[in-house]
Amino acid sequence: MNHDSTPFLDSLRRLVRAADYRPSSKSELARRLDISPKDRAAFREALRQMEASGELVRVRKGRYAVPRAEPDEKGSPSACVGTISFQAGGTRRAGFFSPDPECRTGLLKNSEGDIYVPASLSGTALHGDRVEVMVAEKEAPRWHRHVKRKRERADFDQPRLQARIVRVIERKNARVTGVYHRHGRYAHLEPDHPNLPPVFNLTRVLPEARPGDVVVAEFEGWDSPRIPPRARMIEVLGPPDSPGVDILTVIHRHNLPLHFPGDVEKEATRFSDEVDPAEAAVREDWRDREVFTIDPEDAKDFDDAVFVHEFHPDEGGGWELAVHIADVSHYVRTDTALDREAKMRGNSVYLADRVIPMLPEKLSNGLCSLKPGVDRLTHAVVMRFSETGKMTAARFAAAVIRSRRRFTYEEAFGRLNLSEGEIDFLSPEEASLARHVKRAWKLAARLRERRFHHGSLDLDFPEVRAVLDERGIPIEVRRIEHDESHQLIEEFMLAANEAVALETKSALAPSVYRVHEDPDPEKLLEFAEQARSYGHAVGDLAVRAELQKLLRAIRGKPEEHALKIALLKSLKRAAYRADPLGHYGLAKNNYTHFTSPIRRYADLVVHRVLRKLVLRREPEAEAGESPDGTPSHGRMAEIAKHISETERVAADAEQETQRLKLIEYLVRLGESGERKFFEGVVYEVRPIGAFVELTDLFIKGLVRKEDFPPGDVYRLDGARQRFVSRYGRFQLAVGHRVRVRVLRVDRSRGFVDFELVR
């Protein structure tokens, strides 16, 4: 039975935060608040919640105390709020504290990067928690200097900032997934997240659970770092090798929603399956135009369609491009159940075996999907380009379309490679569409050429995805090349996003922008060293032209994928902001996300802003919003921060499930004997061994030093990024191509060990 603890939380907080409060037991607190017997269960739940969040800690004799900070012996420390992260593996709980931007004052004024938190001062915080810390100058311990030398390149003889956690403000994850174990009367959970403590004590075990099962538990609290944290089992997923358990584990670990609430589904079912004729009548009519879509083969949510017209030289030459985007904002109005759920989810999540959509299927795959042959409402961005690909004008319109054709990327690529003679053998309608696709690529190629001329970085590379059968078992691996059909749509979406960003920025309207900040010079220096280890000549990568030159030099090389991934890691992560700070990777001053409102909440917000600016359609006003009904700048900043976080969670979950299935495919190939050996390239060497990336599957693994060919002694030559044998007969260096076989796999953690095949 659930008990509503809400009425007691405020009164408890007032009591414990009072200046005269002293640590008290549960009974003492109940007496002071005059809690009646019938409310004791709800009161206990309130205490449990405050303890789980870190607002209270249990001290000796079961008393509840408030974590308090004390001045450091070397002076008054600086209080700060931010996020704590712990390293994977081991029982030491030393970590790093990432302060919020507003905390960069006082003692933190001149500091950069994360702040070291010793194991003895990390308290009962968990990986990812928002915490309050006290910061002071301390001498970093010797083991920290050695292990973390790559993170902190400064002079280690200088005093270093050190943080002490005094309070957990918010737990990142209320749920923990892992393997259930039992030893006599004692039950515990071994979490599968490597950054969490190695053991959680289970206070409740479901009767259907069996030792060795993967289970989901709810975090209950943590009294002291000397004892394991507590959790109670709430769901049994089953044995680790059961079909589907691996993906469900990822879903629960990242707290992804599996179902829509009833009120959201009910709201979605109220919409008709067809566009309202009255609404279509007041919109710009594009139903007689040859509008088409290009999407992945398995896509069901088509949120963008395009139309390209090439002007005759007598008309001034150049092109007109119309990018039609599903008008989700017409259906999902502000502060409805649909809107609140979409905001909470932030985006759709594309896992290896399923899609967790931002909007219910009635909208995402139905009324808002730009399917061929049916009327659909859109926001259109209509742009005029010169013959050189320069945008000379842009307008925005509420439109209605009827898509003429749905192309897959493979079909569009096939049309692009047809000769004029081959096109003549098609039906008149298909021939017209084929010429339209070729005309569209002519414009896209010009836009792409112009974008790279202005400094955009070419970070495209093939994608590898596992193809699953109906049981979720990987049966093949599909390599998706970023060919001209993908580039065509990419360039058109980039152009539309830039045009919308310029419109909202020029109007000084509060909005959400896609921002990619300039990289740290130190990170680029580290990447330059890695590129040199492959034998490439590298200039000053802080100069954009030099970075572009390097990217051209590695194109088509075995190390291209590894180096591009390394470059991405050295760049800052793109995020959403309320201010138009520009996009480094695209070399654009104005950029936003507008083209995928079915699957991204950021785009839905921008649609509403554009609606207010251009279309003048008043959605319902929200309390606390600006007069035009769209969020104020402050609220936009909050939304941007939230959806940046949901995007990171989604990306981590997507990559994790794909890696799980690729590793499973690798193991199955090895077991079947179909393919025992794999080609790879060494991309990093460390004392533990050489890290290898398979050139076909892009799976990364480790050739451990102890698994090198026996009968010799090997040493690491760090200066030359290589291992050498005692007599120099064996070398294994960064950039070397190798042949490997799978030696061992840790599926729960996604680790692969390879063995060299000579």
Beta-sheet pairing, 722-725 with 731-733:
antiparallel
**Is the per-residue pLDDT at 581 higher than 90?**
yes
**Is the per-residue pLDDT at 187 higher than 80?**
yes
Residue 752: strand pairing partners = 745
Supply the pLDDT for residue 460: 86
Supply the pLDDT for residue 603: 97
Supply the pLDDT for residue 619: 42
DSSP secondary-structure letter at 572? P
Q: What are phi and psi of 303, to 5 degrees?
A: -105, 0
Average pLDDT over residues 696-710: 89
Higher-confidence position of 726 and 365:
365
Higher-confidence position of 627 and 324:
324
> Which one, of 173, 163, 65, lies nearest residue 126 by Cα?
173
**Is the per-residue pLDDT at 37 higher than 50?**
yes
Band the pLDDT of 112: cuts 50, 70, 90. Answer: low
- Cβ atoms of 306 and 378 within 8 Å: the answer is no
**Is the per-residue pLDDT at 618 higher than 70?**
no
Average pLDDT over residues 531-546: 90
> Which one, of 1, 26, 305, 3, lies nearest residue 12 by Cα?
26
What's the Cα-to-Cα distance from 553 to each of 454, 531, 545, rounded to whole Å?
18, 11, 12
Supply the pLDDT for residue 110: 60
**Is the per-residue pLDDT at 498 higher than 80?**
yes
Longest dimension (CA), the chain: 91
DSSP secondary-structure letter at 528? H
- Cβ atoms of 683 and 692 within 8 Å: the answer is yes
Give me the amino acid identity at 507.
A
DSSP 15-29: HHTSTT---B-HHHH
Residue 118: strand pairing partners = none
- Cβ atoms of 467 and 474 within 8 Å: the answer is yes
DSSP 388-402: TS-EEEEEEEEEEEE
Band the pLDDT of 140: cuts 50, 70, 90. Answer: very low
- Dist. CA 559–CA 357, nearest whole Å: 35
Band the pLDDT of 36: cuts 50, 70, 90. Answer: confident
Supply the pLDDT for residue 111: 64
Across the chain, what does the average pLDDT equal?
Answer: 86
Q: Is 563 left (phi over 0), alpha (psi -120 to 50) or beta?
A: alpha
The reported pTM is 0.82
3-state secondary structure of 530: helix
Map tokens 């090798």 to a residue.
Answer: 241
Average pLDDT over residues 94-117: 74
What ranges in 375-520 are assigned the alpha helix state H? 409-416, 420-423, 428-453, 484-506
Q: Is the CA virtual torsion 584, 588, 593, 596 positive or negative?
A: negative
Burial 656-666 (b: 16+ CB within 10 A, else e): bbbbbbbbbbb
DSSP 330-345: HHS-TTSHHHHHHHHH
Give me the amino acid identity at 758.
R
**Is the per-residue pLDDT at 54 higher than 70?**
no
Q: What is the pLDDT of residues 268-298, one digit of tens each?
A: 999 999 999 999 999 999 999 999 999 998 8
Average pLDDT over residues 324-330: 96
- Cβ atoms of 284 and 378 within 8 Å: the answer is no
Average the pLDDT over each of 150-164, 560-574, 585-599 and give the range with the smallest value.
Answer: 150-164
Burial 114-147 (b: 16+ CB within 10 A, else e): bbbbbeebbbbbbbbbbbbbbbbebebbeebeee
Residues in contact with 233: Cβ distance below 8 Å, sequence separation at least 6, in sequence order: 180, 189, 202, 204, 205, 206, 209, 215, 216, 217
Residues in contact with 426: Cβ distance below 8 Å, sequence separation at least 6, in sequence order: 434
Average pLDDT over residues 445-449: 96
- Dist. CA 758–CA 752, nearest whole Å: 19
Average pLDDT over residues 560-570: 88
Q: What is the pLDDT of residues 673-694, one digit of tens each?
A: 666 788 999 988 999 999 999 9
Could you give all domains of the chain from N- to C-terminal order, each with its CATH number?
Answer: 6-65 (1.10.10.10), 78-170 (2.40.50.140), 175-240 (2.40.50.700), 262-515+577-654 (no CATH), 521-571 (no CATH), 676-756 (2.40.50.140)
What ranges in 573-698 are assigned the alpha helix state H? 601-610, 633-672
Task: List the structure tokens of 277.
Answer: 């004729």
Q: What is the pLDDT of residues 379-425, one digit of tens each?
A: 999 999 999 999 999 999 999 999 999 999 999 999 999 999 999 99
Higher-confidence position of 615 and 638:
638
Task: List the structure tokens of 136.
Answer: 């002071």
Supply the pLDDT for residue 236: 96
**Is the per-residue pLDDT at 726 higher than 90?**
no
- Cβ atoms of 165 and 133 within 8 Å: the answer is yes
**Is the per-residue pLDDT at 616 higher than 80?**
no
Q: What percent of the chain has pLDDT over 70?
A: 89
What's the Cα-to-Cα distance from 378 to each of 291, 367, 435, 595, rounded to whole Å?
12, 11, 24, 11
Average pLDDT over residues 213-242: 91
**Is the per-residue pLDDT at 747 higher than 80?**
no
Supply the pLDDT for residue 149: 43
Average pLDDT over residues 691-715: 89
Band the pLDDT of 59: cuts 50, 70, 90. Answer: low
Supply the pLDDT for residue 105: 61
- Dist. CA 189–CA 187, nearest whole Å: 7
**Is the per-residue pLDDT at 536 higher than 60?**
yes
**Is the per-residue pLDDT at 303 higher than 70?**
yes
Task: List the structure tokens of 172.
Answer: 């990142």
Burial 254-288 (b: 16+ CB within 10 A, else e): bebeeebeeebbebbeebeeebeeeebeebeebee
Band the pLDDT of 248: cuts 50, 70, 90. Answer: very high
Supply the pLDDT for residue 699: 87
Q: What are phi and psi of 247, to 5 degrees?
A: -70, -40
Element (H, E) at 13: helix 6-16
> Which one, of 694, 686, 725, lies nearest residue 708 by Cα?
725
Q: Is the CA virtual torsion 471, 477, 482, 486 positive or negative?
A: negative
Q: Is 132 left (phi over 0), alpha (psi -120 to 50) or beta?
A: beta
DSSP secondary-structure letter at 37? G
Q: What percent of the chain has pLDDT over 90?
A: 52
Q: What are phi and psi of 216, to 5 degrees?
A: -115, 130
- Dist. CA 74–CA 487, nearest whole Å: 58
For 405, other C-beta atoms within 10 Å of its C-beta total: 22
Average pLDDT over residues 155-165: 62
3-state secondary structure of 628: coil
Q: Is 673 left (phi over 0), alpha (psi -120 to 50) or beta?
A: left
Q: CA gyration radius for the chain?
A: 29
- Cβ atoms of 85 and 128 within 8 Å: the answer is yes
Report the side by side order of strands in the sheet with 391-402. Answer: 284-285, 391-402, 375-385, 319-326, 304-310, 292-295, 405-408
3-state secondary structure of 753: strand
- Cβ atoms of 182 and 143 within 8 Å: the answer is no
